[in-house]
Amino acid sequence: MIRAEQQHDWLKNLLNQAEDDSVKNNSSWLHQTRGDAKHAVMNLPPLNRKQEAWRYNRIDKLFKKNFQLLADNIDFKKPDIYNCLLPNFDSYRLVFVNGCYAGQLSDTKQVPDKVTIESLHNAINLAPKQVSDWFRHSDRENNQLFSMLNTALLNDGAVIHIGDHIELDKPIEIIYLNTNFLNKFNSADNDGIMTQIRNIISLGVAAKVTLIERFIGIDKGQYFHNNFSDIVLAEGALLKHYRVQDESREAYHLSSLQVSQQKNSHYYSTNLAFGGAWSKTNINVDFAEQDAECILNGLYVVGDQQLTDFHLDVRHSVPACTSREQFKGILYGKGRAVFDGHILVEKQAQHSDAQLINNNLLLTRDAEVDTKPQLEIYADDVKCGHGTSVGQIDPEQLFYMRSRGLSETTAYKLLCLGFAGEIIDSIDEKKLSEYVTKKLVQTLDSRNQDGDHIRFLG
């Protein structure tokens, strides 16, 4: 791991840049929060491989990059967005370009009463007190370097609040378009833009909504997208949360989600990761009250020059909650993945029901995955289980399909789609699942074009 001083310098450089852009927003609590976070960042211990979160995921490369903060939104021609939209898909839409809210690309017309769907800046202008109430730090993120950095460098994000008993008529979509304008921002001392997004999402009692987040690298090139979402579900609320990470193949991507669930609330999420040179997603779920349920599904597709990492941490600290985690990985070329699924069941959390599954399909000999389920159980009357596997395509299956006239490439593709199907099927929005299937096919096809041959591990 890179030396502590270098990490320190790297952070300092970013924080100094943030001084320069001196918060465009004059909200005093935000100013204060950012200031506190800056102090916290500089006082946190440096990252090292003894820390569980960084054991298999080296970030040396990241600390060698000179990222720049982007103060102003750059004019982004409207038509470009249309390539990125799901066809005929109706949603309340927030669009961010390099971390800055792009109002002219967004669509928040006719948001019903008791519903807030705004950029953070707009929300602060409209209701500063309200936003400061929603804005919170859980203890869990206080010692997380990148989450604190996110607060310290914060430029914008989404504020979503769904009032009690409201079932929203259509999904909310947040689209993050990232571009380095074809390396316009890359030079000897500049490796692209670093963006911070902070989302504050809260659902009132029995509120129901679908939230789709899509991260899109619209051209080749480096940048660093650092995203943090704070999600609070009140009693009986239901959030279906779909995230598609489709950053550029050169990008750095870090997402952290902090989910807290009140009594009888439901959090159903499906996470897909296709892009990024380096990508890490942390999902922390805390059950604050009984009878809550979370389902975390995921699929990562990882090839040459890519490292994709999922870190799940679900804490059962109250009785009778249910958690289901199922993640699948398809790896090819020299792709590398890390899956770390931690479930904590505290002593008082009787009747917890927790399941963790991670299956990986390695298409090539050089692909590699570290999978680490960790069940830490202190209660005695619980139902907990886990299973992980790392396998290859079965040559018998391949032979069978080829004997029916399918090419080896098609056979591979169908088997991969079959493997991923269960995860894609957990997406309840048909247009999104179709898009994701197409994306998966494209990714598998482009792999073949790379001449990255999929011959079987023999």
Q: Assess 399 for contact with another protein (CB under 8 A).
A: yes
Q: Which of 22, 396, 430, 449 binds another protein (CB under 8 A)?
A: 396
Q: What mask, x for binding another protein by CB under 8 A, covers residues 340 to 379?
A: ----------------------------------------
Minimal distance, residue 237 CB to another protein, in Å: 32
Tokens of residue 100, six digits = 């800055």
Contact stretch for another protein (CB under 8 A) within 98-106, 167-175, 409-417, 446-454? 409-417
Q: Assess 408 for contact with another protein (CB under 8 A).
A: yes
Compare residues 203 and 415 and give the one whose CB is closer to another protein: 415
Q: Which of 164, 346, 422, 452 binds another protein (CB under 8 A)?
A: 422
Distance CA 160, CA 172 (A): 9
Contact stretch for another protein (CB under 8 A) within 50-58, 228-236, 332-340, 400-408? 400-408
Minimal distance, residue 274 CB to another protein, in Å: 19
Q: Assess 415 for contact with another protein (CB under 8 A).
A: yes
Q: Which of 410, 428, 442, 446 binds another protein (CB under 8 A)?
A: 410
Distance CA 308, CA 251 (A): 11
Distance CA 243, CA 215 (A): 8
Minimal distance, residue 441 CB to another protein, in Å: 13
Compare residues 248 and 360 and give the one whose CB is closer to another protein: 360
Q: Assess 19 for contact with another protein (CB under 8 A).
A: no
Q: Assess 395 for contact with another protein (CB under 8 A).
A: yes
Q: Which of 72, 404, 430, 451 binds another protein (CB under 8 A)?
A: 404
Minimal distance, residue 401 CB to another protein, in Å: 7
Q: Which of 31, 61, 165, 402 binds another protein (CB under 8 A)?
A: 402
Q: Assess 400 for contact with another protein (CB under 8 A).
A: yes
Minimal distance, residue 455 CB to another protein, in Å: 11
Compare residues 109 and 404 and give the one whose CB is closer to another protein: 404
Over the chain, what HEC string results? CCCHHHHHHHHHHHHHHHHHHCCCCCCHHHHHHHHHHHHHHHHCCCCCCCCHHHCCCCCHHHHCCCCEECCCCCCCCHHHHHHHCCCCCCCEEEEEECCEECHHHCECCCCCCCEEEEEHHHHHHHCHHHHHHHCCCCHHHHCCHHHHHHHHHCCECEEEEECCCCECCCCEEEEEEECCCCCCCEECCEECEEEEEEEEEEECCCCEEEEEEEEEECCCCCCEEEEEEEEEECCCCEEEEEEEEECCCCCEEEEEEEEEECCCCEEEEEEEECCCCEEEEEEEEEECCCCCEEEEEEEEEECCCCEEEEEEEEEECCCCCEEEEEEEEEECCCCEEEEEEEEEECCCCCCCEEEEEEEEEECCCCCEEEEEEEEEECCCCCEEEEEEEEECCCHHHHHHHHCCCCCHHHHHHHHHHHHHHHHHCCCCCHHHHHHHHHHHHHHHHHHHHCCCCCCCCC
Q: Which of 43, 83, 88, 403 binds another protein (CB under 8 A)?
A: 403
Q: Assess 304 for contact with another protein (CB under 8 A).
A: no
Q: Assess 389 for contact with another protein (CB under 8 A).
A: no
Distance CA 307, CA 370 (A): 11
Minimal distance, residue 298 CB to another protein, in Å: 16
Minimal distance, residue 440 CB to another protein, in Å: 12
Torsion sign (Cα): 370, 271, 422, 304: negative
Q: Assess 397 for contact with another protein (CB under 8 A).
A: yes
Compare residues 182 and 414 and give the one whose CB is closer to another protein: 414
Minimal distance, residue 397 CB to another protein, in Å: 5
Q: Assess 164 for contact with another protein (CB under 8 A).
A: no
Contact stretch for another protein (CB under 8 A) within 65-73, 151-159, 382-390, 406-414? 406-414
Long-range pairs for 28-31: beta carbons < 8 A, 24 or more residues apart? 29/128, 29/132, 29/135, 30/124, 30/132, 30/154
Compare residues 17 and 397 and give the one whose CB is closer to another protein: 397
Compare residues 410 and 446 and give the one whose CB is closer to another protein: 410
Contact stretch for another protein (CB under 8 A) within 38-46, 48-56, 362-370, 413-421? 413-421
Residue whose entry in the numeric block shows the structure tokens 């791991």 = 1
Binding site for another protein (CB under 8 A): 394-397, 399-408, 410, 414-415, 417-422
